[in-house]
Structure formats: structure tokens, C-alpha cells
Amino acid sequence: MATGFRFELLARDAASGARRGRLRTPHGVIETPAFMPVGTQATVKGLLPEAVAGAGFGIILGNTYHLALRPGPEVIAAHGGLHRFMGWEGAILTDSGGFQVYSLAALRRLEPEGVTFRSHIDGSEHRFTPEGVIAIQEALGSDIAMVLDVCPPSTAARPELERAVEWSTRWAQRALEARCREDQAVFGIVQGGLDLELRRQHAISIGDLPFEGIAIGGLSVGEPPDRMHPVAAATAGWLPPEKPRYLMGVGMPPDLPRAVLGGVDLFDCVFPTRAGRTGMLLTRQGRVIIKHARYKDDLSPPDPLCDCPVCRRFTKAYLRHLFVAREILASVLNTLHNLHYYAWLMGEVRRAIGDGTLEALAREVESRYPRDEAGEPPGELGEGPGTDG
């Protein structure tokens, strides 16, 4: 077990797999279930670190692939690590670049020993191996490092899923052998697509290795939510109960209580920050697309039930004006509000576990945030897929 890292289970929901816990890291204690805002390139876009902390978050996510390309681990290490580099006092989890195996398929070459990326920035070639990715994350000094894995599309054919499971297991073992820092936890990752038998086999294999926590990978990569959640819940049930469980890249508001019911403890997703930049406000009443003309003269706050700095001070009419005028402050205020909504929602999730009302909360959030036939939220996000926060 890494020094300064401990996970405690505090409560369980008798009617489901939901758990309340406490994750202790060298940079603070996180109450779980918890959501991690995405700070891919050493910043949660548009916000000072103290604004993110003030919204109620004690842990954020950074991305090894992006930080390795720029500014490079040497520059970050020279600052004393990622915490000092970005001025963040809380905990940091760094992704390994495994998602880029999926999202940058046209720019990478996958081999048994590792993956070679052609940079999306300048076309330069970069070789990632399980050992090298651990070394980069140790230079970054994150509290939690993720192993390099093979992330196929969830709907991939079984031979591709079997290869991903086999190589990810081998890479996980190599990553553990390569770790040197005693103050950094390392999480394994379970793959297997939507194939429950492969998921079970891989969950057992990864669960038997001496990781401090385990992630469920390879979901929310093309499949609809009604297929994702049963697989996530089944996989969580096969993992060691004493270790934190992290569902990677999830989720939108209705995903969070539903996945917690399945036994998940940690989440990350670009949705709240990207939605803010593209003019979607997340409220307890549902989505507000702030550019719509109906808000031109609206003197009410974005969410009358929210006490965040944005809702206490500004109106929908003002926020619409900023967005339509393409003022930078629009992204800042919208993002800040959305993160406050996510912090409130996760607080409600934790409270509901203790009250035995989590299923009711999940249904309420699902009613406020309906999806279209493809499983996506209606609205105009205006940006393609990625991990840019």
C-alpha cells in the first residue's frame, strides 16, 4: 500500500451496491462517491485552482499523454511536481494515455510492447510503454497513477476485446514491477467491452494484483447508457470490496447516482466543463441553453435553488449577453456554476446513501436530464469528443 493512501468504507446501501467511503491521499481526504473535474493540461479550463477547491472538489484529473507532449515531464518535475506546477493543493489522479489508444486510433500504432503515438500537435512520434508511463507519472508526482491499458471500442468484436484484455493484464503486471515511488498509489484497469464473461475474467485477474484501487475502463465509448450501466455494475461487483472503484470517463448527471447504485466510488468526465464553455448550464431543474432568445430579458438566476457565486450575483440575461458577445467571462462563470452543480449532486448522492433514498434520487435526476435515442443529452455542445476538459 502506498504511503499516505488509504480507503475506508463507511456505509453501504442495503438495497443496492452503493457505498460511502473516505479516500485518504497525501494531498487530502476525499469523501466518496466523488467526482473529479478534468484538468487535462494542468488546468481546469477557465478556473483558478482556488475556484475549483471552493466549489467543493478535493481531487482533479490530469492526463499523462497531453502533459508528456507539452510541457513535458522534465519541466513539471523541475517545478517540484504537478501540484506546484499548477498551484493545486488537493489530490491529483493522472490518466495513463490509455483512452488515447481509443480516441487517437488514426494516430497510433499498437504493439505487444506498447503504443506509438504520432502527436496530434506536430506529428512527432512518441513511444508509450507500461514502464515509461509509470515513470512519467512518477515525475509528475500525482497522488494516483493509472496503468497503461488497451481501450477498444465497447462494441468491438470479441477477438479485439480478448486482445485488449490480454495485453492490458500483461501491461498491468509490468507497470507494477516498474513502480518506484512509495507515496503514489497505482490503479489497475479492467477492460472487456460489453462482454460480461470477459469483464468477469479481467476483473478477477486485475483484482488479484496489488493495486491500491481499480478502474472500470472501456465504457462510455460508444454504447448507450442502458447497456453501459449493467456492465459497470456487474464489473464493480467482481472487484475487491476493500478497494476504491473508479468508472473512467463517466458521467453526465443521470449517470452518477445510477452508477453509484452499481457500486462505483469515483468518476471523471469533461461534460460539466465543456458544457459550460459551450453555453449549457446544469441546474436542479434541468439544462439551460443560455444562448436561447427566451433568456434575453430573464432577470432570474441560472438556478434559484443554487447558492454558488454565479447564481448569487448574476442573471440569465447577463450570462446570455456574455455568451452571445463571446466574452471570456461567459466560459468562466458557466463552468464555475456547472462544477458547483456537480459538487451539490455528489453531496446529495452521499446523503441519499445514508438515507436509503438513492434510487429515488437517481430517478429524479434522470427525469430532469432526459437523453435522446442515442443516449446523448439534447442541447448544443458544439465540440467533438476528446479529453480536453
Question: What backbone torsions phi and psi does residue 11 show, to the nearest 5 degrees?
Answer: -160, 155
Does residue 162 form part of some domain?
Answer: yes
Same domain (yes/no): 125, 43: yes
Same domain (yes/no): 282, 146: no
Helix 196-207 × helix 225-237 angle, to 10°: 40
Beta partners for residue 95, in sequence order: 63
Choose the final residue of a domain: 221, 241, 269. Answer: 269
> Which CATH number do you get for residue 139?
3.20.20.105
The Cα 214–Cα 189 span in angstroms is 6
Same domain (yes/no): 263, 285: no
Sheet containing 245-247, strands listed edge to edge, beginning at the edge strand earlier in sequence? 34-36, 266-268, 245-247, 213-216, 185-190, 144-146, 91-95, 59-63
Same domain (yes/no): 134, 229: yes
pLDDT (0 to 100) of residue 14: 85
Does residue 37 form part of some domain?
Answer: yes
Residue 324 CB-half CA count within 13 A:
13
Does residue 376 form part of some domain?
Answer: no
- Residue 198 amino acid letter: L
How many domains does one find in the chain? 2
Query: Residue 326, exposed/middle/buried by CB under 10 A (0-12, 13-18, 19+)?
Result: exposed
Q: For the chain, 389 residues long, give each residue's pLDDT as a single digit of tens.
A: 899 999 999 999 988 999 999 999 999 999 999 999 999 999 999 999 999 999 999 999 999 999 999 999 999 999 999 999 999 999 999 999 888 877 888 888 999 999 998 888 888 998 999 999 999 999 999 999 999 999 999 889 999 999 999 999 999 999 999 999 999 999 999 999 999 999 999 999 999 999 999 999 999 998 999 999 999 999 999 999 999 999 999 999 999 999 999 999 999 999 999 999 999 999 999 999 999 999 999 999 999 999 999 999 999 999 999 999 999 999 999 999 999 999 999 999 999 999 999 999 999 999 999 986 445 555 445 433 344 66
Same domain (yes/no): 79, 37: yes
The Cα 135–Cα 95 span in angstroms is 13
pLDDT (0 to 100) of residue 372: 67
196: nearest Cα among 234, 168, 164: 234
Whole-angstrom CA distances from 118 to 221, 230, 356 are 21, 35, 49
pLDDT (0 to 100) of residue 374: 42
Residues 6+ apart with CB under 8 A from 233: 17, 259, 261, 262, 263
46: nearest Cα among 255, 337, 306: 337
Same domain (yes/no): 133, 246: yes
The owner of cell 494531498 is 27
Does residue 298 form part of some domain?
Answer: yes
222: nearest Cα among 181, 250, 187: 250
Pairing of strands 91-95, 59-63: parallel
**250 with 269: CB under 8 angstroms?**
yes
150: nearest Cα among 119, 106, 105: 105
Whole-angstrom CA distances from 303 to 156, 281, 306 are 41, 9, 5
Instruction: Give the containing element (helix H, strand E) for 55.
Output: none
Q: Which residues are catalytic?
A: 95, 268
Q: Is the peptide bond before 33 cis (omega within 30 degrees of 0)?
A: yes
Same domain (yes/no): 181, 254: yes
- Nearest-5° Cα angle at 9, 244 to 264: 40
User: What is the span of the domain harbouring residue 216?
Assistant: 6-269
Same domain (yes/no): 251, 357: no
Query: Can you read off the three cell numbers belonging to residue 353?
Result: 446513501
The Cα 267–Cα 257 span in angstroms is 11
Instruction: Give the containing element (helix H, strand E) for 34.
Output: strand 34-36
Q: Is 162 helix (H, G, I), strand (E, B) or coil?
A: helix
pLDDT (0 to 100) of residue 389: 66
Beta partners for residue 247, in sequence order: 216, 267
**229 with 194: CB under 8 angstroms?**
no
